[in-house]
Structure 1
Amino acid sequence: MAEIVSGLASPIVQLGEWLWIPVKRGLSYMIHYKKNIQSLKLQVGKLEAMKNGYQEIVRAVQTNGKDVKPEIQIWLQDANKAIADATQLNNEAEEAAKNCITGNLRWRYSLGKKVMKKKVALNKLQEEGKFESISVPVMRPIEIESTMSTNGFQAFAATRQAMDQVMKALKDDKVTVIGVYGMGGVGKTTMVKNVGVQACKDGLFDHVIMAVFTQNPNLMKIQGQLSDMLGLKLQEETELGRACRLRNRIQRAKRTLIILDDIWNTLLDLISIGIPNHTELQGCNSKVLLTTRRLNVCHAMESHVKIPLNVLSEGDSWNLFVKKAGRSFESAAFNNIARKVARECAGLPIALIAVARALGDKDIDEWKEAARQLEMSRPANLEDEGDVLRCIKLSYDYLKGEDAKSCFLLCSLFPEDGKIPIQDLFNYWFGNGLFRDGKTLEEARARAHSVIKYLKASSLLLDGERKEYVRMHDVIRDMAISIAYSEQGHEFLVKAGWELEDWPNDVDEGCSAISLKSNCICKLPEELVCPRLRILVIDDNLKLKKISEAFFRSLNALRVLDLSSTCISSLPSSLNLLTNLQTLHLDSCWSLKDISVLRELTKLEILSLKDSRFEELPKEIGNLASLRLLDFAGNTMIQRVPSNVISRLSRLEELYMQGSFGNFGSRIEGAGEETNVGFNELTCLSYLSNLTVQIHSAECIPENVGFHPNWEKFYILIKSQTIPLHKVEYYDFSTSYGSRILALDTTINNLPSWFNSAVTERAKKIVYKECRGLINIIEEYAIERLHELMSLHVESCHQMRSLMNYTATNLVPNKLVFKNLEELCVSNMNELKELCVGDLPDGSLGNLTLLEVKKCHAFANALLQSNLLEKLESLEVLIVDGMKSLEYVFQSDGLKPEQTVMGKCREMKLEDLPALRNIWNGPAQHATFHNLKILTVAWCMKLKNIFTADMSRCLSQLEELWLSECDCLETIIGPSEGTLNSKIILPQLNYLSLQCLPRFKSFYSGASTDVECPSMEHLYVHYCPEYLISTSDFNSRKEVQVNADQQVLFGPRKIKASYSMTRETPTLIDDGYAWKNCGQDEIPGSDHPRIYYRCIHKFNNDCQATKEVQKFRDDPPMYETTYFGIHTCRARPNYI
């Protein structure tokens, strides 16, 4: 029995054990739930560490251009999936704990089972991940901070401006190559290094690499610099092989910023280095940032954005200078000397640092000597002189061609900090023998302008205040003078602007150029012995009244002479000995009456007599057979230009006489039958290409001429009275419109047919001013078909009632009119009521980009009716000013339902329109201002809002909004008829100016939460007493900056706007209105009372405007003025 029981018990026990195993396992899922979760987290951590390690190895393999084994890629994919699944389980457990369901045994069992399975899978992956075939050493990329040290970097205003532009370009997906150019030593390298560090910190790039170029770059060395920073080991022996590896590595790496510093060579091929092309860079989210001294290098490198790095401002220069000098300048005298030295460094950081460090521990006498030598254009004997001038000298040495070098050196003839007239430069250059390979002066001038652009791009010349001028920094000029003084063949003596009273004693016989411009010299040597002298410039010496007869006797080599702005009354006879003279300037020599001595200068090619005072152009001028340019513009005293003088100048190419003689063909008083030059004499000059002239009457133009001229550039003014040169308008040959200009006070049909053929039909700009008989501009177009006309001005033609009346012309039906016109300006037309009557053919005015209408007070309804509005498909700028009766700018009634207009308008200025009720009249769906960037509205007294809510939806590009002096303006965006308030979004609005808007209450008539201006950054508010300001109303992503002189609290709390001004007494606080003091109160906690004012028109006009003035600071005095109420007295201030 026992054996039987024993036999039965054994299998039962085995069965029990077999059944217990899953039960035990299930109980373990529930009992050891928390322990298993913690174990899983540990396994995930181990596997993640393994995965990260292998990813580093994979990156290293790919870095060196090798392929990764497929099983490794599969294992990494499996590991990523397993880690994600395990993380999800952990998240489920944490969520259950939060919801208090972990006590649910069924739930514990289910999750515990999943956890155990995942632990097994993780263990298996760890075992499978023990790869032995990968033994590639990891070359880690060099950290950017270790190579791009920016210690001591100080972002000045100029640097910040350039950096902001670079950072913006780095964020632009369409840009892959960015060029930064600037003068040597201005801080380009330091700036781009800082950009690299900042871009990496901002997460724009994963890698920032940099290579420095030289004049003769070694490509293999550059490739080595870039590869080292990428952690790439280049083993190829050829440049091509290394370039392929580097290019492949950059593409695989993704998000790489490649900085190429100090590029000189325009022929450099980035692909030959190993830089991917534009498409490849976009594909791997990488960019190239290069620096150079030349703009043309940026062009050659196909930079999408070209950013100049300018010199420092005077304030920033001084701060840097003091910091690097490491001392304080205790006395006023020492401080003044130090500032003078700092100014001589012209804002160049490298010059400022070098000079400051060299002089830092010197006494005041040595500072004075350095200042004197810098001012005298001779570098002081500084210990580190090379650091100051080496980069500038290098830029000069690298200039291509002797012409560019000679041109650069001749720029140093002009005074320090002076503007350099480009025309004078050209005359000097050409006279000195430059640009002689062209056939005409115009070709030579084009070459000269190319050199100027080249010098600007090389950062050796700078733009002037106006386009007719260039500038040269003092330090650059010092370098040029130093080179010209020392180099063989140049030997310049330049003392321009030194305030010299006597002729300098250090004039050497070997000088090739002498410049004593802008001094006070009153006496010249009896004879100047400089047999090699080619250029003598002594203009702007107003005390110089006489030149000795023998002065020019030994200057036979002289080619350029400038005696302008002197008080000489006669020219010495020795001037005739200058048989090689090519260029002569006698501008503004008001005491000079007789120039007949010039008759012997048979090689003279350029003669400039601008703004002179002689009464007659002497007959002897006709002997100058080689003369190619004659300029006597602005000579209002001239009465006689004898016939057969100008016509004998058979080689003349350019004649400038605007603002001068204009009485062509008239009889010379006291000379019998002798007459002045006839206009037909100008037409027979076969080489004449450039002509500027004033003609007193159309009757001076002959009916017929024997030779039809081919003037390429002209400015011809037909007007009865002589106009001084500085008041001559419209003349600018450097613009597209300015190359061919006709200004007249008569109609075209009063001009001879040959003149219309040679001038009128070819004019690019026509100005009708005070034109008698002008009724309809379309009739003028019908007469001569002004196909080339690009700019049309109509002024003070008071007989016109409509500018273009298409219904009253003889034009061929459907013939386009003004199809090439780009600019139309209409002003001071007292009777003008309409711009266009009738429907112009489709395509007419299709290229008009600028429309300006001013002071045409007869306009009563809308300026742009639908018949004209639909033609202005290219209009970009609209200016409307001084229209007293105008009620609307746009009238859209008459447009087809699907038509839209003003889609290209980017700027609109509406000023002094006191009757304007609305900007737009008619259905709003026609208005598409989606390119409008700048809007200015001022002195529009009846205007209550600028846009309706419907119109505001097309303002996606609006960046600046300027509103002022609109007494009834309440909101910028008002409600649309028949619609509920909706959300207003102006995504690009950055600047908002609100000035003198007494009834202005809100940006939008709806709720403030319905307005979004995410780019709003600048807000200016001045006298808007009803405006409750809160910067939060704009819902901007940026911090809104408010004008500094406005004492306003911003944020959730809203208060009425006030503003403060610094004045000595409260009575001097002048805001343009008249106020009366009506008492004051003592203010607790303040030493000064609050003074109350009311408008003086309170009683006679019931004006309710008041203000309070509170002094809150003594030194300097500062008053806070708070305005209340609205001026109803109409005593508006006159703001400029």
Structure 2
Amino acid sequence: MPQVKFWAFSFPTRVVEAAMDSVFFEMVKKAGAQTIIDMMNKAWGQLNHYRSLNENLEKLKSEMEGLSCQMEDVEEELRREEILRGKKRKSEVELWLQNVKKTKNEVHSIEEELQGQRWISRYSLAPHVEKKITKVVNLKKEGIFSNGLVVDPMTDVGVYLLTTPLVGQTTAKKALETIWNSLKDVKIGKIGVYGMGGVGKTTIMKHINNRLKLKEAQLFDNVIWVTVSKELSLERLQTDISKGIQLNFSEDDDEVMRSAKLCVALMRRKKFVLILDDMWEAFPLERVGIPEPNQDNGCKIVFTTRDQRVCRCMESHINIKVEVLSDEEAWDLFKDKVGGDEVLSPDVQGIAKNIVRKCGGLPIAIITVGRALRQVFNVKVWENALYELKCSSAEIKGMDGDVTALLKFSYERLRNDQVKACFQYCALYPEDYEISTEELIEHWMGEGFIDEIRSREARINKGQAILAELIDTCLLETAEKYLFNRVKMHDLIRDLAISITRVNPLFIVKAGVKLKEEPKDDEWIQNVNSVSLMSNDLKRLSGQPNCPKLSTLLLHQNFKLVSVNNSFFQYMLGLKVLNLSNAGIDTLPTSLSDLENLHTLLLEGCYKLKLVPTLEKLKKLQVLNLSGASIRELPLGIEQLVNLKCLDLSHTTDLMIFQAGVMPKLSFLEDFSMYGSSCKWSCNNNEGNRIDEIIRMEQLVNLKLVFEDLRSFSKYVEKEMWKELKSFHFVIRASWLTYHVPPSKFFIEMSREGGLFGNENLPLFFPDNTLRLDLKEYHNIYRLSQPSVILSNVTKLEECHIKQCIFITCILKAEEDTLLPTLQRLVLDNLPWLTTLCEGVMPLGTLACLKVIEISECPRLKYVFQLGLLLNLQNLEEITVRNCEHMEKLMAEEGEEKSEANNNNNRTITLPKLRQLKLTHLPKLKSICKGVLICDSLHTIEVSRCNKLNKIPLSISNRSSVLEGNITGETEWLNALEWFDLDTKELLQPLLKDDKE
């Protein structure tokens, strides 16, 4: 008989007895014909599994820890690539992350199941442990993405452009439809659109652009809009087109290489439409890198021009002329602009029709003259207007005399020389340049165009009023992307301004023309008033121009400018405004020290600037901006700037000390900013940065400071000098800064940077008028309503961001008196111990004005809203919840989170203003709410990676709603979704999307 291996080893008596009792005899009894020896060998194998189970379990834990660390590294790299570089994670990476998280949960389940189990149960799991080890090891190998984690995102179809309604429903619409039909015609590749200046070509093409972008009209993969400069530069044109397709050129690329790269990139876009607006001369497509449109590639090129010869030279397949308005359309437009029939009395009407005829059907002229005469009832004024219109004369390239006269008429009607000077000043900026209104008004004030007897704030307001006047008269227009922060000049209007400034005042304008060499000394006309060399490629200014009457010199945005001759400013002693911002210089010329008439000195963004000559003679200086400079100490003589009203030292990261005794001498200072500076203000520093000096500056209006600690901040708040401020931005010790979000007028940022503020029991007092409060890594707080955080007096708080505060468990508690009744936006991010928004039943009025709530990375939060709180949130417009791994419900009834006994599925919840609902990566989310959520204002819904959510309980009775967004998941999940009613299902059905597509 063969020897039995089972008895070859010595096992603990307890194990053997268990095996004999539980396995061996049971197996013998069931074996039937099997021999005892076979059964013993089988028992040996089973006991051997048991013996190695603990070793494998430890190995599994070790491998899983390594895999978890690998996953965290991948996720960190993804966050950096997606947020900072706008990249998109690869699908294989996303699938790997899902598999790792799934495996992690499975391993955790095995560990829990093994705890406290009997031998038989533990034995049965041994093969599962071995399989999981193999799976984890394989995942670690698969997680080495040698080809990278991310890819470039797909470009959008195009950019939606703001525009005005079409003027002339017959004329303009006819041209638009002709262009549209030509785009749909496969035989037409190049379309020329021509007409006189100001006739409305650009407006029509903006409507075409926006129609192409609409989803239901997507005939093309890409729509690229480029405004072409009068002074055609193929390099600039290549750059502008490349921006539309997110193509980056190397600095070493020449024209040929750029052309080749651009051509390849465009051809990859398959069908595209390239709109070239305002062309003044033709160019060969191949030199730029634009593929020739044909039926095979389906591409189109549309260009607008004032000269039909450009269309011929570009070999367009069809030329479409945009005609001026008919008499009837022109009259209707003019009536609308002057204020309707009540202005056009019988005595005025005949004169008005003569004026309209003089406008020649040109929309820009009709609008300009019409606004100039709006709500004017005096017949004599109308007669004078017609006379001036007939007598006005000037010549502008590209326009006939009548149109020139019309535009100049609008200029002549500006109410005074002050406003005219402000208008002329805009000609110093490059063609099609989007001018910062803040910078423009700063220049106007420096020139003295705005009365100096007023306070700085009043003068800025006056500047805004002048801007509004110029916009209202169509001499300036609001830049599309920036709304009211930037303006631009129509090119015809800019031509008018330049023609005026060729004589008096005398301007030299060479802005934005890629100038690489400075003008020679004899090109600097001696009696010139203003010179603009901004936005060029100048590297040196080595001359010594003799311009005693020069008042403004714009040199900013010459990023390559590294050297300015020490005597460059020697013969510019009348200079009032000098803008050298965003230059690469590290030293300012010593001749700057003699500019005794200088009012405004702007050096913003000169990040290499370390040495500034003495400023002691610049006693008329009112504005000094050194933000971003690398200075290590204050310029010599700064205490002599007794008329200084604005001092900007923000982001001066090398500046550590603001010497004591300087601040009291700047007795007229109204605006002071050291936001982002390394210079922190304190009540404990006698050498400088003394907060008591700030407290005594009663004339301050706008203040941005970094405080050394909470005690210094509290001292400033106690003195209540903030009550006199029109805006403040206070930072308490934070090294992180809110760069990308426009700060509120009254903004406070707090951080402990992992350290202590000093006295841990020091209460947090805030100015009563605080509008925004940001807390980050502030670990001495567990809720906003705790007694040591004094927010009850802050009656205007509108926005609150709380990030990475590890001890926060809830935001508000019912027993405490902080209700935040004015809060409109609440952002909660990375709060590891947050378990509830509000603890207890909150009183009426709590968060009553809340419009937006954003929650992310709060792993212990199981629900967002309790039903009682929702009754207060009737103004809620946006809900965003993402990456909360234990979130189970969006809305829960009181006590529901602890018990499932309450099954009231018929409850109705109404959020009448809710426009946006976004739920992302909530793996345990099972329910949005019990019953139904009525949200008739809903505009956007996004649900993704919420695989346990089984019902969309929304009711949207407004059938005219056009919903955006998507609901993504696996097909099986999408098909299994339950809906409140069929109408809502039908409305949301187009948004359903398989995440594998």
The code of the aligned residue for 2:870 comes to: L
* 8 Å contact from structure 2 (residues 878, 916) kept in 1: yes
Aligned partner of 2:949 in structure 1 is: 943
Aligned partner of 2:873 in structure 1 is: 872
- For residues 720 and 905 of structure 1, do their structure 2 counterparts lie closer, same or farther at Cα, with a shift above 3 Å needed? closer
Q: 1:442 aligns with which of 443, 457, 461?
A: 457
Aligned partner of 1:153 in structure 2 is: 175
Establish whether residue 903 from structure 1 lines up as the match of residue 912 from structure 2.
Answer: yes
Aligned partner of 1:770 in structure 2 is: 777
Aligned partner of 2:553 in structure 1 is: 536
The code of the aligned residue for 1:934 comes to: T
Q: Distance in 1 between matches of 2:733 and 2:431?
A: 40
Q: 1:431 aligns with which of 446, 449, 465?
A: 446
Aligned partner of 1:969 in structure 2 is: 973
* 8 Å contact from structure 2 (residues 681, 705) kept in 1: no
Q: Secondary structure at the match of 1:778?
A: coil
Q: Distance in 2 between matches of 1:393 and 1:348?
A: 31
Aligned partner of 2:137 in structure 1 is: none
* 8 Å contact from structure 1 (residues 665, 675) kept in 2: no
Q: Distance in 2 between matches of 1:440 and 1:755?
A: 37
Q: 1:625 aligns with which of 642, 649, 655?
A: 642
> Equivalences for 1:344-359 in 2 at 5 Å?
352-357=304-309
1:932, distance to aligned residue in structure 2 (A): 1.4
* 8 Å contact from structure 2 (residues 760, 780) kept in 1: no
1:776, distance to aligned residue in structure 2 (A): 1.8
Aligned partner of 2:347 in structure 1 is: none
- For residues 433 and 363 of structure 1, do their structure 2 counterparts lie closer, same or farther at Cα, with a shift above 3 Å needed? farther
* 8 Å contact from structure 2 (residues 777, 806) kept in 1: yes
Q: Distance in 2 between matches of 1:888 and 1:538?
A: 58
1:610, distance to aligned residue in structure 2 (A): 1.1
1:794, distance to aligned residue in structure 2 (A): 1.3
* 8 Å contact from structure 2 (residues 407, 493) kept in 1: no
CA offset digits 1:966-1008 (Å, max 9, x no partner): 57532496256xxxxx752679x5993443346xxxxxxxxxx
* 8 Å contact from structure 1 (residues 392, 479) kept in 2: no
1:359, distance to aligned residue in structure 2 (A): 8.0
Aligned partner of 2:721 in structure 1 is: 708
Aligned partner of 2:504 in structure 1 is: 488
Q: Distance in 2 between matches of 1:870 and 1:784?
A: 22
1:380, distance to aligned residue in structure 2 (A): 11
> Equivalences for 1:476-515 in 2 at 5 Å?
476=492, 478-479=494-495, 482-504=498-520, 506-515=523-532
Q: Distance in 2 between matches of 1:553 and 1:887?
A: 73
1:689, distance to aligned residue in structure 2 (A): 1.0
The code of the aligned residue for 1:875 comes to: L
Q: Secondary structure at the match of 1:840?
A: coil
* 8 Å contact from structure 2 (residues 682, 690) kept in 1: yes
- For residues 542 and 824 of structure 1, do their structure 2 counterparts lie closer, same or farther at Cα, with a shift above 3 Å needed? closer
Between Structure 1 and Structure 2, how many residues are aligned?
Answer: 656
> What TM-score do the two structures reach when normalised by structure 2?
0.58
CA offset digits 1:897-923 (Å, max 9, x no partner): 987431221111111111112222x23
Establish whether residue 698 from structure 1 lines up as the match of residue 685 from structure 2.
Answer: no
* 8 Å contact from structure 1 (residues 571, 597) kept in 2: no
> Equivalences for 1:740-759 in 2 at 5 Å?
740-745=746-751
CA offset digits 1:930-982 (Å, max 9, x no partner): 2212111122122234237xx45577746224122457532496256xxxxx7
Q: Distance in 2 between matches of 1:329 and 1:421?
A: 32
CA offset digits 1:739-779 (Å, max 9, x no partner): 0001113699989999977x532201111111121112112
Establish whether residue 785 from structure 1 lines up as the match of residue 793 from structure 2.
Answer: yes
Q: Distance in 2 between matches of 1:932 and 1:147?
A: 34
- For residues 907 and 450 of structure 1, do their structure 2 counterparts lie closer, same or farther at Cα, with a shift above 3 Å needed? farther
> Equivalences for 1:91-240 in 2 at 5 Å?
153-155=175-177, 184-186=198-200
1:659, distance to aligned residue in structure 2 (A): 0.8
Aligned partner of 2:804 in structure 1 is: 796
* 8 Å contact from structure 1 (residues 961, 991) kept in 2: no
Establish whether residue 931 from structure 1 lines up as the match of residue 931 from structure 2.
Answer: no
Q: Distance in 2 between matches of 1:937 and 1:147?
A: 42
1:688, distance to aligned residue in structure 2 (A): 0.6
* 8 Å contact from structure 2 (residues 856, 884) kept in 1: yes
The code of the aligned residue for 1:919 comes to: I
Unpaired stretches in structure 1, ≥5 consecutive residues: 1-145, 161-182, 195-313, 340-346, 365-378, 669-673, 977-981, 999-1022, 1024-1136
- For residues 798 and 390 of structure 1, do their structure 2 counterparts lie closer, same or farther at Cα, with a shift above 3 Å needed? farther
The code of the aligned residue for 1:640 comes to: I
* 8 Å contact from structure 1 (residues 917, 943) kept in 2: yes
- For residues 901 and 411 of structure 1, do their structure 2 counterparts lie closer, same or farther at Cα, with a shift above 3 Å needed? same
> Equivalences for 1:474-873 in 2 at 5 Å?
475-476=491-492, 478-479=494-495, 482-504=498-520, 506-524=523-541, 526-618=543-635, 620-665=637-682, 675-701=687-713, 703=715, 708-709=721-722, 710-721=724-735, 723=736, 727-729=737-739, 732=742, 738-745=744-751, 760-779=767-786, 784-807=792-815, 809=816, 811=817, 817-860=819-862, 862-873=863-874
CA offset digits 1:832-883 (Å, max 9, x no partner): 01001112221221111111111111012x2211122121111111111111
Q: Distance in 2 between matches of 1:193 and 1:770?
A: 48
CA offset digits 1:344-373 (Å, max 9, x no partner): xxx999xx4532358858999xxxxxxxxx
1:424, distance to aligned residue in structure 2 (A): 1.9
Q: Distance in 1 between matches of 2:207 and 2:925?
A: 54
CA offset digits 1:81-123 (Å, max 9, x no partner): xxxxxxxxxxxxxxxxxxxxxxxxxxxxxxxxxxxxxxxxxxx
The code of the aligned residue for 1:434 comes to: F
Q: Give % identity.
A: 21
Q: Distance in 2 between matches of 1:846 and 1:552?
A: 60
Q: Secondary structure at the match of 1:919?
A: coil
- For residues 527 and 151 of structure 1, do their structure 2 counterparts lie closer, same or farther at Cα, with a shift above 3 Å needed? closer
CA offset digits 1:34-87 (Å, max 9, x no partner): xxxxxxxxxxxxxxxxxxxxxxxxxxxxxxxxxxxxxxxxxxxxxxxxxxxxxx
* 8 Å contact from structure 1 (residues 946, 971) kept in 2: no
Q: In angstroms, what is the RMSD of aligned CA positions?
A: 4.6
Q: Distance in 1 between matches of 2:891 and 2:959?
A: 17
1:608, distance to aligned residue in structure 2 (A): 0.5
Aligned partner of 1:886 in structure 2 is: 887
Q: Secondary structure at the match of 1:564?
A: coil
- For residues 936 and 519 of structure 1, do their structure 2 counterparts lie closer, same or farther at Cα, with a shift above 3 Å needed? same
Q: Distance in 1 between matches of 2:600 and 2:665?
A: 19
Higher-Rg structure is 1
The code of the aligned residue for 1:677 comes to: N
The code of the aligned residue for 1:835 comes to: L
- For residues 331 and 563 of structure 1, do their structure 2 counterparts lie closer, same or farther at Cα, with a shift above 3 Å needed? closer
Q: 1:914 aligns with which of 923, 935, 953?
A: 923
1:824, distance to aligned residue in structure 2 (A): 1.2
Q: Distance in 2 between matches of 1:866 and 1:649?
A: 56
Aligned partner of 2:238 in structure 1 is: none
Q: Distance in 2 between matches of 1:495 and 1:548?
A: 21
- For residues 685 and 959 of structure 1, do their structure 2 counterparts lie closer, same or farther at Cα, with a shift above 3 Å needed? same
